[in-house]
Amino acid sequence: MSVTSTVIGYPYIGANREWKRTVEAYWKKTLTEERFEESMKALRLANIQKQIDAKVDIVTVGDFTYYDRVLDVAAMFGMVPKRYNWDGKEVDLDTYYSIARGNKESVSSEMTKWFNTNYHYIVPEYDRSSLRLYENNPLKAYLEAKEELGVSGKPTMIGPITFYKLTKELKKGDQPAYMSQLISLYTQVLKELVAEDVEWIQLEEPILATSISEKDMELAIMVYKQFSEIVPEAKILLQTYFESVDHYEAVIDLPVAGIGLDFVHGYQENLANLKKWGFPEEKVLVAGIINGRDIWCTPLEKQFDLLIELESLVGRGKLWIQPSCSLMHVPVTVNSESTLPEPLKNNLAFADEKLKELSILRNALCEGSHAYQEVFNHNKSSIDDLNNHPSRKLRNVHEAIAQVNEGDFNRTSSYEVRKAIQQKSLQLPLFPTTTIGSFPQTPEVKKARSQMRKGEISSEDYREFIKLEIKKWIDYQEKLGLDVLVHGEFERTDMVEYFGEKLDGFAFTENAWVVSYGSRCVKPPIIYGDVQWIMPMTVSETVYAQSLTKKPVKGMLTGPITILNWSFVRNDIPRKEVANQIALAIRKEVQFLEGEGIRIIQVDEPALREGLPLKINKQASYLEWAINAFKLATSQVADETQIHTHMCYCEFNDFIEPIRKLDADVISIETSRSHGEIIEAFKHYEYKNDIGLGVYDIHSPRIPQLNEMKAIIDDSLEVLSAQQCWINPDCGLKTRKTEETLAALERMIDTTKTFRERYKTSM
């Protein structure tokens, strides 16, 4: 056997989202802790069995989680913020979920994007506490798999450098002590694994695929050197993914037994470095050869040729193959799909299909390509069929893209001119209040949508139901005293899927779910063809809502980059071109809303930063075309039309300049979980446009306290003027209950009134 196969991780949510239902049943207290643990164990073992059935040579264990794998490491080490009043005995489920979701007394920990993916992790908080190993989760996972399935797996966990760099509240003076504790804790984990005769131990270090500093690389060298000295028997597989490694020579020289490199994202740089600097003879190269982040089938013969080249560079028997990253970023199986057109379905590979591709490539390397030439030919023919499909050859779309010019990216007047015109027209008070767009998707709303799709009620009956929901929530908003209203988005399942369903070029799945954060799973659309606007998508609901009130109602749209980044995108043309196709479609919708008298239009871009390349030298190019796509969608409106956008859960400190370049009249940002960082960013950067302060966390079931919201606004007013600030929740409210929403908004309004009273003389 010359080649070994493995995976970094497998989707933990189950083919039918069993994981989600189990977790949420426990939260609702309809499932006991004992039954919860039984269900989770069954899911864990089923996921491992999938790898076994697919004949993966080295099965990975420990990639399962009850909420988030970064949080798992923090809980292992007793990193529980003091506000949860933890007794220090064990991190039980209630404490664990309080960190993730908050509780009645305390806010949750911050949540942000996992590198440049749509997954969100819980940010670890270090408060100078003394840490210790409360439970060795990798060892527990290893022993369970061995006892229940008879397999000696490869336990995995987030590596120490990545965990260290992702930790919050880490003051400079605390860094040495904290790192020292982490080294001791990870060393203990390694010792206990070695004591149980674990052969391979996977430490995931995606931070090494970012533009880390020389100092951070020196830290990594020091840490792994200590591991090798203290636990020399540990065979560590150091996994990098999402990009190439900058410090290639230093990384391959780390004292570990194997190194995982991404030969999908970062393929050119990693391959060039491998050719230039070679690879240590005593180590194995674990090549990420199958794209773990998209749903397209692998060009098998092309990747086989690459594997032949890699094997020639590292030597026979020294090459392992795997997907480029954990398969948690893709759905479970194409077998769950029955309605997709054949040319598209034949080109899809979800997690289970990627395991099959892995097996094909591994066997072809072992047996010779001649035995798989028919498979390779069929694979190439399927890819060619889709590339030549008429849906990818729409002349009017390509002509429209060719006609885009510099003038399409700019508003007619400066922001200062627009603001004066808009204020005269809208007559908004100081600290205008609004929401981000969606209101609770109650069981009744979901039931009506399901009935309509099953044909149990007519489309007309469904539209009348939606109208009743809109009217009900316009009344609620009027009574609460909100200044700018929304129609509530009751007709929308998802902020991307809804628009994709009404545009050309999109396809939709039945069960292709992936996890976004916590138990929140999304079903990303597939952009497989040219995108174009067909008919108005949001106008009827927005205009109806506006007819019910004299207050302005926002038109609510999803921005082109968010639609791009939250979809699975065709890979035959540059993403920039797809973004511009979407932007022109959204621009058409903006024009229709404006033509119907809608004076405020919000085009949300929560995923703008998410698409930012991990390498600093690649970021400027992305930002240029991504920002231009937003402006292409929003700039051709009158000065009187106020353009809003919304961003959430991203690191704003180094992102203020791109936000400024968007030139949105109002940008709403998340400040409830991370207001300290936001305020720090604005201290060093003058920002003139208006800002909506997300003053409470909608992902937590708790009702925000007045003093919590007041503190956020007070802090914001240290660096922003009162005339700039809008007040709103930090995100949409679709996942909350009606009573929670009304109570939270009432407190938000009450908080706003105190600030209006304080600052009324400044108007």
- Binding residues for L-methionine, as ranges, are 436-438, 489, 604
**By C-alpha distance, which of 191, 186, 201 is closest to 156?**
201
Determine how many CB atoms are found less than 10 A away from the CB of residue 392.
Answer: 17
Single-letter residue type at 5: S
- Binding residues, as ranges, are 17-20, 113, 118, 436-438, 489, 520-521, 566, 604, 610, 646, 648, 670, 731
Burial of 339 (C-beta count, 10 Å sphere; 0-12/13-18/19+) = exposed
Q: Indicate if 699 belongs to the active site.
A: yes
Q: Is the dihedral of CA 737, 743, 749, 755 positive or negative?
A: negative
Integer angstrom CA distances of residue 451 from 294, 441, 458, 521, 563: 32, 15, 8, 22, 27
Instruction: At 655, list the tokens.
Output: 């992102």
**By C-alpha distance, which of 230, 221, 281 is closest to 255?**
221
Within 77-174, residue ranges assigned H as helices are 93-101, 137-149, 160-166
- Residue 317 sits at φ, ψ, to 5 deg, of 90, -5
- As a whole number of angstroms, the distance between CA 460 and CA 313 comes to 65
Question: Which residues lie below 8 Å from residue 623, measured CB to CB, with a gap of 6+?
Answer: 612, 658, 661
**By C-alpha distance, which of 45, 70, 116 is closest to 623?**
116
- Residue 242 sits at φ, ψ, to 5 deg, of 85, -15
- As a whole number of angstroms, the distance between CA 632 and CA 564 comes to 15
- Residue 232 sits at φ, ψ, to 5 deg, of -65, -20
Is residue 155 within 8 A of residue 63, CB to CB? The reply is no
CA dihedral angle for residue 702, residue 704, residue 707, residue 712, rounded to 10 degrees: 120
- As a whole number of angstroms, the distance between CA 600 and CA 646 comes to 13
Angle made by CA atoms 549, 478, 544, in degrees to the nearest 5: 30
- As a whole number of angstroms, the distance between CA 419 and CA 431 comes to 14
Instruction: Match 């446009």 to its residue by tokens.
Output: 689
Question: Which residues lie below 8 Å from residue 213, measured CB to CB, with a gap of 6+?
Answer: none
- As a whole number of angstroms, the distance between CA 49 and CA 668 comes to 45
- Binding residues for L-homocysteine, as ranges, are 436-438, 489, 604
Instruction: Match 């930012």 to its residue by tokens.
Output: 612
- As a whole number of angstroms, the distance between CA 418 and CA 324 comes to 47
Instruction: Match 């989707």 to its residue by tokens.
Output: 11
- As a whole number of angstroms, the distance between CA 130 and CA 126 comes to 10
Integer angstrom CA distances of residue 570 from 294, 353, 399, 525: 9, 18, 19, 11
Q: Exactly one of 120, 247, 329, 699 is catalytic; name it.
A: 699
Determine how many CB atoms are found less than 10 A away from the CB of residue 486.
Answer: 26
Is residue 353 within 8 A of residue 36, CB to CB? The reply is no
- As a whole number of angstroms, the distance between CA 52 and CA 45 comes to 10
- Residue 713 sits at φ, ψ, to 5 deg, of -70, -40
- What residues are labeled active site? 699
